[in-house]
């Protein structure tokens, strides 16, 4: 006989709800920081220990919670942000479900301490798992709120087994706080892990300060290639910055979308951005952008995912086509006189604002702001003119041997695709200054390769420098090695090319004048450039677009990337191609 239907106990209901909202320590940080932002905070400090499994503490200087409301704040479906179904259709806050604190308290030991603005004292309440709420009792605190979460998932031990490594959990928090810092430039953020400060971002009250924040989060390379975006039509506006094709990256780690101030990951918006580049990116390269979409709240549903990281548009096709056309116009335009951006206060542009968006106005440009910061520091300002490679991009051919021929103003130019690709990788690495670029990128399937005794000896000579390069290469037999990880910045390089680069660095270690780490990276870049040399005219054109954003012709000639071609040389190469 089947068991009878019965109501679940409240403790089980709470833990099931917690499983939808609290997936990992990052989920706790996200929910608490969103509450702090909604409370009008100006500074938010996050402190975690052991990747958040032992402790998560979030402090803010917002409006606080009254003594009467504190016990209610820890109950399910209790919120100050909704009163009716009408409010749900036009949300202006980040947190609204009224489940965050209750869900956290169902699986951890939670302490809420707060002092309401204008109150003379602070109060604290506690809850542990399914136990009753304790308090409120008097406490000491300035205006604002502190939420302390200890022993996450102590009430559901099986969930702890599914947590990733301490570093992985921490990196998820750090990545989201960077997104929050871009979404709310007027707020200050800090992140401390195991008593070590990992992130400190000051509030940005001016364009120059926000430019510094953008550079700190996205890197100098992004700033150098960023083009401002500012396009508006009635009910829709997109603003922000998108990198020119020359600023594309080896991974999709610099793609930030914000919809009405909410960080989201939306495949339709990502597809529209990617489509705007068309064939301007080589295989394995990814666009970089920081973009803000403002849309009528009535045309947006943010209540489609418990973690509030997804949205749904009433007219998806219109949004997709608007974003695509706006970004494509910026990427195809001149490089660039900045367009006037839509207002940053979230107001939507009407017909007059849309017309103004097309008029050139030096309101803000990352390049201008960075230049002003340098001049203000008393240094020589960088040249305003970027590299200019005047090539006829429709006259491009890929030739045998990894060569590309293209017509320029004074004749024909032969480009060594192997050296070109290696130079682009290495220059991008030098400019990024990003330690994550050398983070080991684990291969989905470790690659076993045969080596002879001489090659094995060459690997041993540089083995101690491999971890610093993000390479995990292990000798598993006298005649075999196993490649388990490659540097994140060079992840598109084939496994065999990574091994060839390491072998080359080891074989030349006795006559190197550079560090072994630099030699390894150069070897991998050269070997990868040879392995990924363009074989079609379209691939050659895509590589040239990247070169055009970084080098002029004379620089390419001086660095050995390119050389002038005579008619006789070209006739012989074309004969080989035929």
Neighbours of 412 (CB within 10 A): 16
Residues 105 and 175 in one domain: yes
Residues 145 and 33 in one domain: yes
Confidence at residue 189, expressed as pLDDT on a 0 to 100 scale: 94
CB–CB of 427/478 below 8 Å?
no
Cα(294)–Cα(326) distance, integer angstroms: 13
- Tally of structural domains, the chain: 3
CB–CB of 3/130 below 8 Å?
no
Residue at 322 is within a domain: yes
CATH code for the domain of 142: 3.30.565.10
Confidence at residue 428, expressed as pLDDT on a 0 to 100 scale: 67
Residue at 382 is within a domain: no
Residue at 190 is within a domain: yes
Residues 349 and 415 in one domain: no
Find how far residue 354's CA is from the centre of its chain: 29
Confidence at residue 6, expressed as pLDDT on a 0 to 100 scale: 75
SS (H, E, C) 424-486: HHHHHHHHHCCHHHHCEEEEEEEEEEECCHHHHHHHHHHHHHHHHHCCEEEEEECCEEEEEEE
pLDDT, averaged in runs of 10, over the chain (578 residues): 73 66 85 89 93 93 89 78 62 65 86 90 87 85 92 81 84 90 91 92 85 87 88 90 87 88 87 84 84 88 70 87 90 56 40 34 33 31 39 65 75 81 74 56 75 78 79 77 77 77 72 67 79 77 76 76 65 52
Partners of 289 in the beta sheet?
Answer: 242, 255
Residue at 380 is within a domain: no
Residues 564 and 466 in one domain: yes
Residues 141 and 262 in one domain: no
Chosen domain end from 176, 201, 226: 201
Chosen domain end from 174, 201, 228: 201
For the entire predicted model, the pTM comes to 0.58
Residues 115 and 232 in one domain: no
Residue at 48 is within a domain: yes
DSSP string covering 166-205: HHHHHHHHHHHHHHHHHH-TTSEEEEEETTEEEEEE----
Residue at 379 is within a domain: no
Residues 160 and 241 in one domain: no
Residue at 421 is within a domain: yes
Quote the domain boundaries for residue 247: 207-372
Confidence at residue 571, expressed as pLDDT on a 0 to 100 scale: 55
Residues 348 and 494 in one domain: no
Burial of 196 (0-12, 13-18, 19+ CB in 10 A): exposed
Residues 194 and 212 in one domain: no
**Residue 346 backbone dihedrals phi, psi, to 5 degrees:** 90, -5
Residue at 107 is within a domain: yes
CB–CB of 166/53 below 8 Å?
yes
Residues 288 and 346 in one domain: yes
């Amino acid at each position: 006989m089947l068991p009878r239907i019965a109501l679940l106990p409240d403790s089980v209901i709470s833990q099931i709800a917690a499983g939808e909202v609290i997936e990992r320590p990052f989920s706790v940080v996200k929910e608490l920081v969103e509450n702090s932002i909604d409370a009008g905070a100006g500074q938010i400090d996050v402190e975690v220990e052991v990747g958040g499994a032992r402790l998560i503490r979030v402090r803010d200087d917002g409006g606080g919670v009254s003594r009467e409301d504190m016990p209610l704040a820890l109950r399910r479906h209790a919120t100050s942000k909704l009163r009716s179904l009408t409010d749900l259709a036009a949300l202006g806050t980040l947190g609204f479900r009224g489940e965050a604190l209750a869900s956290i308290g169902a699986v951890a030991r939670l302490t809420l301490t707060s002092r309401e603005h204008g109150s003379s004292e602070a109060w604290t309440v506690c809850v542990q798992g399914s136990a009753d709420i304790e308090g409120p009792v008097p406490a000491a605190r300035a205006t604002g709120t502190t939420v302390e979460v200890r022993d996450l998932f102590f009430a559901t031990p099986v969930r702890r087994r599914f947590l990733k490594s301490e570093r992985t959990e921490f990196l998820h928090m750090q990545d989201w706080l960077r997104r929050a810092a871009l979404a709310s430039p007027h707020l200050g953020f800090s992140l401390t892990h195991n008593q070590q400060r990992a992130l400190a971002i000051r509030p940005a009250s001016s364009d120059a300060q926000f430019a510094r924040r953008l550079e700190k989060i996205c890197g100098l390379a992004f700033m150098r290639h960023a083009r401002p975006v500012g396009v508006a039509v009635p009910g829709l506006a997109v603003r922000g910055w998108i990198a020119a094709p020359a600023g594309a990256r080896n991974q999709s780690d610099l793609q930030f979308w914000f919809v009405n101030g909410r960080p989201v990951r939306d495949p339709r918006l990502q597809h529209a951005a990617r489509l705007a580049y068309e064939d301007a990116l080589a295989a394995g390269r990814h666009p970089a952008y920081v973009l803000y979409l403002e849309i009528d709240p009535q045309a947006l549903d943010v209540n489609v995912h418990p973690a509030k990281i997804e949205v749904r548009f009433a007219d998806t096709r219109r949004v997709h086509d608007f974003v695509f056309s706006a970004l494509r116009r910026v990427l195809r335009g001149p490089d660039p006189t900045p367009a006037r951006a839509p207002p940053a206060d979230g107001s939507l542009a009407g017909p007059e604002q849309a017309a103004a968006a097309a008029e050139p106005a030096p309101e803000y440009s990352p390049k201008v702001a960075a230049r002003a910061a340098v001049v203000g520091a008393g240094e020589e300002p960088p040249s305003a003119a970027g590299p200019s490679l005047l090539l006829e991009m429709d006259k491009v051919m890929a030739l045998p041997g990894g060569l590309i021929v293209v017509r320029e103003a004074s004749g024909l130019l032969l480009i060594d695709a192997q050296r070109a690709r290696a130079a682009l990788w290495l220059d991008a690495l030098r400019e990024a200054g990003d330690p994550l670029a050398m983070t080991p990128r684990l291969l989905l399937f470790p690659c076993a390769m045969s080596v002879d005794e001489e090659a094995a000896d060459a690997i041993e000579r540089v083995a101690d420098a491999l971890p610093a390069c993000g390479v995990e290469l292990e000798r598993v037999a006298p005649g075999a090695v196993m490649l388990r990880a490659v540097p994140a910045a060079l992840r598109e390089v084939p496994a065999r090319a990574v091994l060839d680069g390491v072998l080359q660095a080891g074989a030349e270690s006795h006559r190197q004048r550079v560090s072994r780490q630099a030699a390894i990276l150069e070897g991998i870049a050269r070997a990868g450039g040879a392995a990924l040399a363009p074989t079609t005219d379209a691939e050659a054109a895509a590589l040239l677009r990247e070169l055009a954003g970084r080098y002029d012709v004379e620089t390419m000639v001086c660095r050995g990337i390119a050389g002038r071609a005579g008619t006789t040389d070209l006739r012989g190469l074309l004969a080989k191609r035929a």
